[in-house]
Amino acid sequence: EIAEKLNGILAAHGPRSTALVGYALSSSLGEKPLAASWMALMGTQYYFNPAGLEFMGVFWSHGKAIGHQGHFTAPDEEHSDVFVLWGCNAYVSHQMRRARSTIREMSENPDQKLIVIDPRLSESARMADMHVMLRPGTDSLLIRALIALILKEGWQHQDYLDEHVKDFDAVKHWFTGIDIEKSLEVCGIPYATAYELGKIMTTKIWSLHQDLGIYMGRHNTLSSYLLIILMCVCGTFLVPGGTIVPDNFALNRSTNEDDPSVWRSTETNRFPVIATFPDGILPAEIMTEKEGRIRAVITSLSNPVRSFPDANAQEEAFRKLELLVCIDCCMTETAQLADYVLPGKTGYESHDFGVFQYSYPEVYCGLKRPVLEPVGERREDSDIVVAIADAMGIIPDIPDSLYDAANNKSRMEYFAELMAFMKENPSYMPGILMITAKTLGKAMGSTMKSTLWTAFMTNPNMPALTARAGFASVDDAFQAVLDHPEGVMVGLGDTTKTFDKITHEDKKVHLYLDVIDEYIKNITPEKEAADLLPTEEYPLIMSAGTHADGGVNGVMRNPQSYQHRNPCTFLMNPADGAKYGIKDGQLIQVSTKAGSVELYAEYTYRASAGYALMPHHYGFTAGGRTYGAAVNKLTSADHLDAITGNPIWRYVPCRVKAI
């Protein structure tokens, strides 16, 4: 039925009528390449996933500077003199090996420095050698002022700029003529602090871990771009011990909005980054009356009615769809609106893998194994994806020889048969993951296994990576993953060729862009001071979402998690409580231009005065009861970054009222 309806919508309205949503969590990314294969076979480019909430600005910036959006950077913190966390609380969010031990060791090591640049007193900031507590929303202005200060003092690493940067002279005017002292005053940073920070950054090898404070902050794309320039000025970009591009066992996609074959969205004229559209535009693209609107959505590993900006607009739009299919193990708020809910397995019952690498130069891989036997008719989400594509009749015809090789021959013999088949039928390449899923995946008993194996075997970088790690072949490295449920090192990067990750022909970092040249004119102390003035209607700033130890309970959705605690509270500084007449533990109403919710206030000094925090993942229903408040009832679908459309979730003006 689903295949028939999808084919009917595609035939009547073309590929723009259909979108995939989700298929990716940070630790469960095996479905993402399958989703890309399915999209290619359907002809659609409409894809919405968590990257459209977090990484649009940083991936776009790396694509422009390095040449490939998938070549994003990570810190080589183990070999750094200084580790900088900007808008990042890695002690809680992890995202690096041995996060808590590493941060503790750095804070106690007299030969290393830990610097945290964050408007709030986070767990990481409390252990830092230097906490630069900037005013919320001023990251771009601070980075611009810091670069201007470095150039004024003549501290820049000119040899690095001359050798590795194509066009620094073309961007120097962005950092001249700006009032440094006035800029720092607006940022709330003493000149002496900025001077010390600039001195450290230009005399030490430092690595950078930026996070959602940058990715979801004001001017989030510009901030990510300016941080690349700052690292170049300091000579630490793509340098061992600095911030490098780690190797990976899976290839990441890159999309260039200047390529005429890359879609722009029908209503909002937005472009994708790493083949992902900004999630905030989804309601507009469904609700538009223009031809080419989205009419059918298939979700997996996603609850956009709670996790995408503007929950009210998302729900209204999803009700308008002609077809909504949800692959899920829970009756989520999105699934409650669906025409079909297909029962997937939980992560405890299925194979899966993640592809984010925060290690260098080692490349690790782990295949997550089922630890529980499933009850009922549930199937791995990836199997359901393949089943729908197969029912649509869009998977290429597969010869019996491939089935035979999958069932009766070695994987290398199967690979030879597969490559011969693809050479004869190059147009089938977009569907290769579907082909291996139906053949090798069936023989292995898991689509995720065949997807991971295909990622290994089709990555042109893997032979060299696995050879340096001591494996005789790429397939041997894959076998090591099967043999080691705990994960294993499958590759080793070449630390002497860090600049090889640049895909520009001249192998240099490119910095000048017309769009940045135009945008940065507005990042002046005068304009920022005016824009940051609190309004009478919404005098408080809220961070919509925060990392917490409590886990991703919006995915777990187990009400018993809250039997003895209330993790969904409005975290506010005691000074703000006194200012607005709110007591610790009191029920309050929080309002923004998008809507209002009720929840309990909680005093904490982790929240700065004037800057409150509200967690995400809550406001879900189970057994007829709602648990916590949905923060995305407070966020707006048009509060997006001007360049890439990433939501501005770490700077949401609001007001609070005691109930």
Window from 47-61, 81-95, 457-471, 612-626 with minimum mean pLDDT: 612-626
Residue 54 in tokens:
């977090």
The predicted pLDDT at position 558 comes to 78
Taking 80 as the threshold, does the pLDDT of residue 555 lie above it? no
179 close to 525: Cβ distance less than 8 angstroms = yes
Taking 90 as the threshold, does the pLDDT of residue 567 lie above it? no
The predicted pLDDT at position 29 comes to 86
pLDDT tens per residue, range 137-152? 999 999 999 999 999 9
Taking 70 as the threshold, does the pLDDT of residue 434 lie above it? yes
Burial degree of 567 (CB within 10 A; 0-12, 13-18, 19+) = middle
pLDDT tens per residue, range 352-390? 998 877 788 999 999 999 999 888 888 999 999 999 999
In the block, residue with structure tokens 């290398």 = 412
Tell me the CA distances in angstroms from 389 to 39, 42, 394, 538, 610, one per residue in order: 10, 9, 6, 48, 50
Q: What is the SS3 assignment for 509?
A: strand
Taking 60 as the threshold, does the pLDDT of residue 552 lie above it? no
Question: Helices 411-424 & 474-483, crossing angle to 10 degrees?
Answer: 130
Task: Quickly state the pLDDT bin for 95 (edges 50, 70, 90).
Answer: confident
As a whole number of angstroms, the distance between CA 463 and CA 546 comes to 40
As a whole number of angstroms, the distance between CA 38 and CA 43 comes to 9
Q: Which residue has the higher pLDDT, 359 or 36?
A: 36
User: Residue 71, Cβ neighbours under 10 Å: how many?
Assistant: 20
| Average pLDDT value for residue range 329-345 | 94
Give residue 347's identity as a one-letter amino acid code. Answer: G
| Confidence (pTM) | 0.96
pLDDT tens per residue, range 289-331? 999 999 999 999 999 999 999 999 999 999 999 999 999 988 9
Pairing of strands 587-591, 652-658: antiparallel
Nearest CA to 492 out of 248, 209, 194 is that of 248
Q: Which residue spans within 245-338 are E strands per DSSP?
A: 296-300, 323-328
Taking 90 as the threshold, does the pLDDT of residue 547 lie above it? no
pLDDT tens per residue, range 486-539? 999 999 999 999 999 999 999 999 999 999 999 999 999 999 999 999 999 999
